[in-house]
């Protein structure tokens, strides 16, 4: 068996999201070994072969299909398997359907996993990271960049709360080229009142549903988002990303997982960034907390 020394990554689920994530990882050469694991073993094998045939053009990696025993020695495990969201279905509805599957996947992983990057797994909470609103924040930045006609890389802003109905933009921490969003818009003469902000917030929230309506599923954006998070971890970048992580007193909230900016490095969440929010933003975060606690209560015992 051909194998390279270096970083090992396992992806659970070789569907549209998993296979596209694998492709994004391969294109960026983010690991030395990449294993795809799926109940449909032929699908996983086919995806691994397809990606591996492009390696001569981008660089060498060991990409293969496997089973749960292959999570041993993995530096990072990315779980993409799940029941897909249907048009008109809320993310919380989807969560209820996926809880049992998540239990099964976690138990299968922990039978073989021998590293430590949650209550179900027994691993430290800072090493269990959800993709959260990392992609939503990217969508938010894209919409702002198009409205203001500026390179998206000069736009910085965050969507907080949850990857769902109660998500909200932290406008008080949204900047362009070091200037507040309001200051920049005024400087270039572009109207950017509350009506524009509300429209951008709504479009950000509905982006996923719009893509599902248009093409049936979302997978390209989340694949790049996941690959970016992987890079932050494997290369110990100490990058700030809006991810799902358990709060322990930050923002005055404890014992629930919410989507907030966090410093991401080799240890997972190195530090949760406890930003100073406006009173209105804090109330919106509390609504997300209440929504998540209700969601957790609704799936207890499943």
Positions marked active-site: 163
Question: Which residues 6+ apart lie within 8 Å of 225 measured at CB?
Answer: 131, 134, 135, 138
Cα–Cα distance measured from residue 158 to residue 175, given in angstroms and rounded to the nearest whole number: 10
DSSP state of 216: S
Cα–Cα distance measured from residue 218 to residue 229, given in angstroms and rounded to the nearest whole number: 18
Question: Which residues 6+ apart lie within 8 Å of 149 measured at CB?
Answer: 188, 190
Q: Which two tokens stand for residue 280?
A: 């209105």
Terminal alpha carbon distance of the chain: 41
19 burial via Cβ count (<10 Å: 0-12, 13-18, 19+): buried
Number of H helices, E strands in the chain: 9, 12
Report CA dihedral (264, 269, 271, 273) to the nearest 10 degrees. 70
37 burial via Cβ count (<10 Å: 0-12, 13-18, 19+): buried
């Amino acid at each position: 068996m051909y194998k390279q020394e270096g970083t090992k990554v396992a992806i659970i689920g070789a569907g549209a999201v998993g296979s596209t994530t694998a492709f994004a990882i391969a294109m960026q050469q983010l690991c030395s070994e990449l294993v795809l694991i799926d109940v449909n073993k032929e699908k996983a094998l086919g995806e691994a072969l397809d990606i591996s045939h492009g390696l001569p053009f981008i660089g060498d990696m060991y990409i293969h299909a496997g089973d749960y025993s292959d999570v041993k020695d993995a530096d990072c495990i990315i779980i993409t398997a799940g029941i897909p969201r249907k048009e008109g279905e809320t993310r919380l509805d989807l969560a209820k359907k996926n809880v049992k599957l998540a239990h099964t996947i976690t138990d299968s992983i922990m039978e073989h996993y021998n590293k430590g990057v949650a209550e179900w797994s027994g691993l430290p909470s800072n090493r269990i990271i959800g993709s959260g609103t990392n992609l939503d924040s990217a969508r938010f930045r894209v919409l702002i960049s198009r409205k203001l006609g500026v390179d998206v890389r000069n736009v910085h802003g965050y969507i907080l709360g949850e990857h769902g109905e109660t998500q909200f933009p932290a406008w008080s921490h949204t900047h362009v080229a070091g200037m507040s969003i309001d200051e920049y818009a005024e400087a270039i003469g572009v109207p950017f009142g509350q009506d524009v902000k509300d429209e951008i917030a709504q479009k950000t929230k509905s982006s996923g549903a719009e893509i599902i309506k248009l093409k049936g599923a979302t997978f390209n954006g989340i694949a790049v988002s996941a690959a970016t998070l992987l890079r932050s971890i494997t290369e110990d970048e100490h990058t700030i990303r809006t991810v799902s992580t358990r709060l322990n007193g930050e923002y005055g909230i404890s014992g629930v997982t919410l989507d907030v900016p966090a410093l991401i490095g080799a240890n997972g969440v190195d530090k949760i960034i406890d930003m100073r929010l406006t009173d209105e933003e804090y109330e919106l975060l509390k609504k997300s907390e209440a929504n998540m606690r209700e969601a957790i209560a609704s799936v207890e015992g499943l």
